[in-house]
Amino acid sequence: MADIRLTFLCSHRFENGEVIRGGILLTDRETKPLEFRCTSPIRPTGLQKLLYGNMLERHILVELIGQSLLKSLAEQSDVILVREPDLLHLQVRLGNQQTVLLLSKHGEHDPRGAEKSDAGGGTSKLLGSDTGKFEPVVVHTYRGFEEKGGQLRGVLGEVFAHFDLLEPFERVKAALEQVHKQKLGEGK
């Protein structure tokens, strides 16, 4: 897959955790940016917090951030990479159209654990950088998508030999901080 496209999708909280924005970065195999999009600030109301309860975070991440940002991209990617366990549930909405993979540092979290709100119950595999340039990452797939996830792990391994798979998430968060600081996307 010489022309593989990677999508890095994440969120970032602002204003003492009361505001959340999502960002998406579409890159080539060298993680060079091709397209960036972000959401307007999302400010859940007290009533929404009461009605959604523990499901509010997943609702915001999957439906308001994930789905809307993926629809906004001019082109689809080969794989959607996420760092937040709740975003792995985006796989349910996408079905077989695209594959979502959760990346984490080794020992960071186990998405199958109850403490991470049942993030899909799929498989988790350690992926090392063949060149040893980067710390290994754990790749988590959503239950029922293990085969496709396995195929994509091989492709990610090729990319990971030369480029840090976690670093683009830091770029997205920095871009979100810049966008929020400039109050872009806020209603007047």
pTM given for the model: 0.90
Q: For residue 165, what pLDDT is reported?
A: 96
Q: For residue 92, what pLDDT is reported?
A: 93
Q: For residue 80, what pLDDT is reported?
A: 97
Question: Does 110 map to a domain?
Answer: yes
Question: Does 40 map to a domain?
Answer: yes
pLDDT digits (tens, 9 = 90+) for 107-154: 776 554 433 434 566 889 999 988 888 999 999 999 988 888 888 888
The total number of structural domains that make up the chain: 1
Region 10-14: mean pLDDT is: 97
* pLDDT tops 70 at residue 168: yes
pLDDT digits (tens, 9 = 90+) for 13-63: 999 999 999 999 999 999 999 999 999 999 999 999 999 999 999 999 999
Q: For residue 96, what pLDDT is reported?
A: 87
Question: Does 140 map to a domain?
Answer: yes
Region 67-78: mean pLDDT is: 94
Region 97-105: mean pLDDT is: 93
Question: Does 56 map to a domain?
Answer: yes
**Tokens representing 115?**
């403490």
Q: For residue 116, what pLDDT is reported?
A: 41
Question: Does 188 map to a domain?
Answer: no
Q: For residue 119, what pLDDT is reported?
A: 54
Q: For residue 114, what pLDDT is reported?
A: 31
Q: For residue 145, what pLDDT is reported?
A: 87
Q: What is the CATH classification number for the domain harbouring 68?
A: 3.30.2170
- Domain boundaries, position 131: 6-181
Question: Does 1 map to a domain?
Answer: no
